[in-house]
Structure formats: C-alpha cells, structure tokens
Amino acid sequence: MNGSNYIKIVNATIDKAWNGQKDTLANASLAISTAITAKRNVFVFGCSHAGILAEEVFYRTGGLAVINPIFYGGMMLNTRPITNTSATERVPGLGKEILDGTPAGRGDVIIIHSVSGRNNVPVDMALAAKEKGLTVICITNLNYSRSVTSRHSSGKRLFEVSDIVIDNMGDIGDAAVTIEGLPERIGPTSTAVGAALINGIVIDAVNNLVKRGIVPPVFMSANLDGGDEHNAKIFKEYKDNIFYM
C-alpha cells in the first residue's frame, strides 16, 4: 500500500502548497500576464530533474506559446554520464553565462526551479536575471533549502535572491515515503507538485489576460481539426517572443 500512501501524500502536498500561498501564486500569475501584455518574454529553467518543469509548460496543448524553456546540454537528463549534471550545476558563473546566451532583458520574467536551491547555477542565474531587470520567480522547497548551506560564494540560496518565492512544501530531501526495512526514503514529490503549481500559475495568468480583453496565445492540439492553423497564427503573431522554434 506504499504506492497509495505516495498518491495521498502528493495530493495533500499539492493542496497545502496551492491553498497555503495563494497571494504568492497570484503574484506570480500577475507577473507573467503583465509581461505578456507588454509583449515581454517569459522563461523557465531548471537543472537535471528540476528542468522537467521547463519541459512541462512549453510547446504543448493547452499551454502558453510564449513560455520559453532554457535548456543547457550539460544539465539535461540525456547527459551521459548523468552524474555530470550534479557537477555542472555547481560550476560558479555558469548560470550567468547560460542566461547571457538568451534574449532575456528588462521587463521579462523567469521561473527558476531548484528544490534545494543551494547550487551555483540557479543562484547565479537568479542574480544575473535581477541585474538585467527580470522578475525572478522561484519554485523551491523552503524547509529543505533552509536545512542546507549554500554552495554559492554569496552564501545565498535561491529563495534568498528571488522576487517571488513559491514553496513546493515537500519533505527535506524530497523523498516522502518510508518503507519498513529500508533506511532510505523513496517517492520524490517535487516534480508532481511543481507541475501542478506551475500549470495552475499559467492558467491564472491566462485568466488575467482574458479579463484584460487580450486573446491569450494558447496552443490547441495539432491533432484536432483546425489545430495547425490556430497554432500557426500564434507563431506568426508572437514570433518576437518565441525562441524555441
């Protein structure tokens, strides 16, 4: 029944994270919708498994076309050996270099996902983004992050250098399920909870746009009749805000 326990934990954590920080989540949605209204840009980044959220919210049915993932080969899950991702995430200054390789600028928004928030790349990227005039939204685990020291030269963790801090409210170490006879915990919650939170934020951002009288650039499924034509219009209208084509 441990799998059932995991599902219960995930559902309870999503509920706690969503309902326990509604003002913060509303601020994140407002930042995104304001940037889109001004024809500014939205980016999302994470290292290794944290990068799954960047894949979750771009170029997909029901998603905002103008959310741009930032991928860096040495920190994606197709890296071999995979242990290189852990080493690369700790390289000082790399986060700034990665951001400098994007068109990110003043008035844009970036969402940075890091569960521990302690490593150099996400902290450097957040600091560089703020210097460029971006609004930095982070998704992290505050209990986890506060339980560890920063690996960044500033001594800061991601939540300490972000404008809007979203807590995934997971366990320290992320894994949430205990099995009798096994010393290690199993069943990380950060991806499931993070995906729910980031999709909820996007939905509320779209709702904000509709209330402003703006037709939001939301993708239709290419497998629905009319989907290709609908999406082609979005690519044409928002060509200056889409960087993954």
pLDDT by residue for the chain (245 residues), tens digit each? Answer: 689 999 999 999 999 999 999 999 999 999 999 999 999 999 999 999 999 999 999 999 999 999 999 999 999 999 999 999 999 999 999 999 999 999 999 999 999 999 999 999 999 999 999 999 999 999 999 999 999 999 999 999 999 999 999 999 999 999 999 999 999 999 999 999 999 999 999 999 999 999 999 999 999 999 999 999 999 999 999 999 999 99
Residue 172 lies in a domain: yes
The residue type found at 197 is L
Residue 66: how many other CB atoms lie within 10 Å: 24
Residue 49 lies in a domain: yes
Residue 5: how many other CB atoms lie within 10 Å: 14
Residue 129 lies in a domain: yes
What CATH number is attached to the domain comprising 175? 3.40.50.10490
Residue 245 lies in a domain: no
Q: Which of 121, 164, 161 is nearest to 139 (CA)?
A: 164
| Predicted TM-score (pTM) above 0.85 | yes
Residue 7 lies in a domain: yes
**Cis-peptide, bond into residue 122, ω within 30° of zero:** no
Residue 226 lies in a domain: yes
Residue 151 lies in a domain: yes
What's the pLDDT at 1? 63
**Please, which residues bridge with residue 177 across strands?**
186
First to last CA, the chain: 44
What's the pLDDT at 2? 84
CB of 67 closer than 8 Å to CB of 57: yes
Residue 93: how many other CB atoms lie within 10 Å: 12
> Nearest 10 degrees: CA dihedral of 78, 123, 37, 206?
60
Q: How far is CA 98 from CA 56, 82, 122, 176, 212, in A?
A: 20, 19, 10, 32, 34
- The alpha carbons of the chain give a radius of gyration, in whole angstroms, of 18
- Cα–Cα dist 69/90, whole Å: 20
CB of 179 closer than 8 Å to CB of 2: yes
- Cα–Cα dist 45/173, whole Å: 20
Residue 130 lies in a domain: yes
Structure tokens, 81: 């050996």
- Number of domains the chain contains: 1
- The dihedral sign for the CA sequence 112, 118, 121, 124: positive
**Please, which residues bridge with residue 166 across strands?**
139
Q: How far is CA 195 from CA 125, 133, 190, 191, in A?
A: 21, 26, 8, 6
Residue 145: how many other CB atoms lie within 10 Å: 22
Domain of residue 203, residue span = 2-239
